[in-house]
Chains A and B, each alone.
Chain A
Amino acid sequence: MNKIAVIDYGMGNLHSVAKALEHVGAQLGLPTEIVVTPDPQLIAAADRVIFPGVGAIRDCMAEINRLDVGRIVRQAIESKPVFAICVGMQALMSRSEENGGVDCLGIIDGQVRYFGDALKDDSGHRLKVPHMGWNEVQQCTAHPLWKGIPDRSRFYFVHSYYVPHDEDSIERGVTGIAHYGKEVAAVISRPNLFATQFHPEKSQEAGLTLLRNFLQWDGQG
């Protein structure tokens, strides 16, 4: 039995990610049990962990701190595969510019930045914020979770703040990049951690393949 805990700290819709995991578990013929819970014991007992997040970082971090989710996530990464999604990925960083500046978990060094109100593409056209919709993800390093996913496949993004792809990317473990007026770290990975700015549970076949690969991942790069 593959037990997957989706960490529920009261922020947003966890139905989608739970349903997507059920779906890919069934596709693989793997008996999969999904628990959506804030309970540290249930999360500790799981084989794999999902760290989701939507909404504003200040509210997310307030609940993360109140429920001591940081400790739960750190412990999980020490012992088993963890998949962080969207604001879940941003919460892993040192700090976010959102809401006037919010300290995050600091599991990954780096700042979460605002796209800016005057965002433009390479040819000078104005870009809307939030970055909402299907964008290409360039697989900048090899990773077992990319198996079966063509390079530059499109994934579904919705966010106004981003982790930059910059000179610290290699150290940070940036594994996928997107372009939207800026160079965006779309995926960060390290042993036992795969974090995406996009929503795999909303990214149809490409996203489902990523989740299928996650269910079979041993946590190694």
Chain B
Amino acid sequence: MGLAKRIIPCLDCENGRVVKGVQFVDIRDAGDPVEVAKRYCDAGADEITFLDITASHEGRETTVHTVEAIASQVFIPLTVGGGIRTLEDIRAMLNAGADKVGINTAAVTNPDFVRAAAERFGSQCIVVAIDAKRVSGADEEPRWEIFTHGGRNPTGLDAIEWARKMVEFGAGEILLTSMDKDGTKSGFDLALNRAVSRAVQVPIIASGGVGTLEHLAEGVLEGEADAVLAASIFHFQEYTIGEAKDFMAQRGIEVRKI
């Protein structure tokens, strides 16, 4: 027995409220990120990812307080992503109780930011989020490029090369989202995941496309992911974290049971 593959529910939050509706029937306030995070933690989530989609500067203050409140009650690792652009942003989130921060667009516009962040705070807390889209034709060797702004803006950067570069710059983990699969509930882009996982030494979190428990297992077995991230299948109570872990265990995947 060894290291468990991780299951990570993701909370999208705006101005301190969970959006993309969590639908727990027996929860007092499904919009309260603290209550939702606690619920997932008690259900056996291995980590929590908190994605802040707040646009305004004032709203960011709220986010810091939310992270503080979650970190006071949830004793598993907490990653905060969304709008992390400066070393000061990182410091604020870590001081609020985040264990890791996710850097996305800022890594693309200024790769040296990742290097500076890893040097200052340590690679263990720097997660680089990569949004990739397949750009090759059906009969070509598969190729993926990095897109920003929710998949709208192409950058011309090759996803595999980019992942290698980010790890060289100090990323301690890669959160890999397929923009082709995100929201489709048709499963991860397994070829993308496998290619990135084999290209780098650090752990990969697969994201984008989970609709069934089989998809989670595939992400690990075929996508060679070290962790799987999902939102809607857990938020809408299609499956519990416990069911996901039981299913993965039946497929021979090592998981943490509680």
Chain A 119-157 interface residues, beta-carbon cutoff 8 Å to B: 121, 127-136, 152, 154, 156-157
Q: Tell whether A19 is near chain B: CB-to-CB under 8 Å.
A: yes
A208 to B41, CA, bound (A): 13
Chain A: CB-nearest residue to B5: A133
A128 to B258, CA, bound (A): 24
Chain B: CB-nearest residue to A200: B75
Q: Tell whether A75 is near chain B: CB-to-CB under 8 Å.
A: no
Q: Tell whether A101 is near chain B: CB-to-CB under 8 Å.
A: no
A203 to B99, CA, bound (A): 13
B72 proximity list for chain A (CB < 8 A): 19, 22-23
A15 proximity list for chain B (CB < 8 A): 68, 71, 94-97
A201 proximity list for chain B (CB < 8 A): 75
Q: Tell whether A13 is near chain B: CB-to-CB under 8 Å.
A: yes
B96 proximity list for chain A (CB < 8 A): 15
Query: Most chain-A Cβ atoms within 10 A of its Cβ — which of B4, B77, B96?
Result: B77
Contact A16 B99 (CB under 8 A): yes
Q: Tell whether A202 is near chain B: CB-to-CB under 8 Å.
A: yes
Q: Tell whether A117 is near chain B: CB-to-CB under 8 Å.
A: yes
Q: Tell whether B46 is near chain A: CB-to-CB under 8 Å.
A: yes
Contacts A55-B122, A202-B77, A207-B75 hold; do A130 and B3 have CB atoms under 8 A apart?
Answer: no
A128 to B124, CA, bound (A): 13
Q: Tell whether A20 is near chain B: CB-to-CB under 8 Å.
A: yes
Contact B75 A134 (CB under 8 A): no
B71 proximity list for chain A (CB < 8 A): 15-16, 19
A153 to B105, CA, bound (A): 38
Contact B201 A12 (CB under 8 A): no
A56 proximity list for chain B (CB < 8 A): 122
Contact B75 A133 (CB under 8 A): no
Contact A130 B1 (CB under 8 A): no
Contact B94 A154 (CB under 8 A): no
Contact B6 A19 (CB under 8 A): no
Contact B4 A154 (CB under 8 A): yes
Contacts A129-B202, A132-B172 hold; do A54 and B75 have CB atoms under 8 A apart?
Answer: no
**B: interface residue count bin:** 35 or more
Chain B: CB-nearest residue to A211: B75
Chain A proximity mask over B25-43: 1 for CB below 8 Å, otherwise 0: 0000000000000000100
Taking the closest CB of chain B, its distance from the CB of A215, in whole angstroms, is 15
Contacts A55-B122, A121-B2, A154-B4 hold; do A208 and B172 have CB atoms under 8 A apart?
Answer: no
B258 proximity list for chain A (CB < 8 A): 204-205
Contacts A23-B75, A56-B122 hold; do A133 and B203 have CB atoms under 8 A apart?
Answer: yes
Contact A133 B6 (CB under 8 A): yes
Chain A: CB-nearest residue to B198: A126
A217 proximity list for chain B (CB < 8 A): none
A208 to B258, CA, bound (A): 14
A152, A154, A156, A179: the one contacting B77 at CB < 8 Å is: A156
Taking the closest CB of chain A, its distance from the CB of B94, in whole angstroms, is 5
A102 proximity list for chain B (CB < 8 A): none
Contact B201 A117 (CB under 8 A): yes
Query: Most chain-B Cβ atoms within 10 A of its Cβ — which of A128, A152, A159, A207?
Result: A128
A135 proximity list for chain B (CB < 8 A): 2-4
Chain A proximity mask over B182-213: 1 for CB below 8 Å, otherwise 0: 00000000000000000001111000000000
Chain B proximity mask over A1-42: 1 for CB below 8 Å, otherwise 0: 000000000001101100110110000000000000000000
7 closest Cβ pairs, A-B complex: A55-B122, A15-B97, A134-B256, A134-B4, A13-B94, A154-B256, A128-B203
18 contacts between A and B (CB under 8 A): A12-B94, A12-B121, A19-B71, A127-B3, A128-B203, A130-B203, A131-B3, A132-B173, A133-B3, A133-B4, A133-B227, A134-B3, A134-B4, A156-B77, A157-B3, A180-B2, A201-B75, A208-B75
